[in-house]
A and B are shown apart, each in its own frame.
Chain A
Amino acid sequence: MFKRILLPVDGSELSIRAVDTGIALAAALGAHVHALHVLPPFPAVTYFAAIAQANETMYVERAVASAERVLAEVQRRAEAAGVPCTGSHEIDNRPACAIAAAVSKHHCDVIVMATHGWRGIEKLLLGSVTQKTLLLADVPVLVCR
């Protein structure tokens, strides 16, 4: 069955819930999980004051630190379930492309992700990242509520 499960995670509560489903599936199948966090690159024009004030080095430093926190959280949950886990972050402003690329880079055979992340509004709309991942990915996608 599935050997390597890709867990894209943006740190939102829903994405962590999907991570738990992915880890439970991995435990049942004896699979490995790979957590992926996609960071937006430093924008020259932005609407976040904090970003505008910071310089790029500072931004990348903080963004990577927050990525590491998110990935460490996944790692902790995987360890608790006895599931082998690796993690990586990518800098890309099209998360769905980064997720689809990570599938081949890390030889994953399934993706487990939430219906929407931080930017999703409600149940009525499918998150844009999930929607694009469904179209771009070459492997099955398990979409969790």
Chain B
Amino acid sequence: MFKHILLPTDGSDLSLRAAKLGIELASTCGARVYVLHVVAPFHTISYVAEMLAATEAIYTQEATKHASQYVADVRRMAEAAGVECSTHYVTDDHPHEAIVRAAHEQHCDLVVMASHGWRGITRLLLGSEVHKVLLESEIPVLVCR
């Protein structure tokens, strides 16, 4: 069935839950997983206080640190389940584009992601990123609650 599963993560609890399900599926199917975190680039105009206060260098350093933590969390889960795992993070303003691009470049055959991440509000709304991934992805997407 599935051979290479893309697990986009934003570090939120929901995305970790989705990653866990993706890893379980990978372990049952004997698939590999590719973990991806998309870092928002530095903006001079921003609504995130952290970005305003920081200079670009500090922001990038912090963002990179977070990104490595997020993907390392998923890597630990994959290793515990005995699933082959590679982790990456990219900087992109549009996470859905980065996700669809990674799926294509890495020849993934499934994306497993949460119905919403940090920015999603409630179950009444589908996260904007997952919605865009559903529209643009060429491969099936497993949307988790």
List residues of A whose CB falls within 8 A of some B CB.
1-2, 21, 24-25, 27-29, 110, 115, 123-126, 131, 134-135, 137-145
Are B1 and A131 neighbours in the complex by a CB distance under 8 Å? Answer: no
Are B126 and A135 neighbours in the complex by a CB distance under 8 Å? Answer: yes
Are A28 and B139 neighbours in the complex by a CB distance under 8 Å? Answer: no
Are B142 and A134 neighbours in the complex by a CB distance under 8 Å? Answer: no
Set of chain A residues within 8 Å of B29, measured between Cβ atoms = 28-29
Contact of A25 with B1 at beta-carbon distance under 8 Å, contacts A134-B126, A143-B140 already known: yes
List residues of B whose CB falls within 8 A of some A CB.
1-2, 21, 24-25, 28-29, 115, 123-126, 131, 134-135, 137-145
B70 CB, min distance to chain A CBs, angstroms: 21
Set of chain A residues within 8 Å of B140, measured between Cβ atoms = 21, 142-145
Q: Which residue of chain A has its CB nearest to the CB of B135?
A: A126
- Cβ contact of A1, chosen from B24, B123, B126, B134, cutoff 8 A: B24
What is the CA–CA distance of A58 and B24 in the complex, to the nearest angstrom? 48
- Cβ contact of B1, chosen from A24, A124, A126, cutoff 8 A: A24
Are B145 and A142 neighbours in the complex by a CB distance under 8 Å? Answer: no
- Cβ contact of A145, chosen from B2, B25, B137, B142, cutoff 8 A: B137
Are B141 and A140 neighbours in the complex by a CB distance under 8 Å? Answer: no
Are B135 and A124 neighbours in the complex by a CB distance under 8 Å? Answer: yes
What is the CA–CA distance of A135 and B126 in the complex, to the nearest angstrom? 7
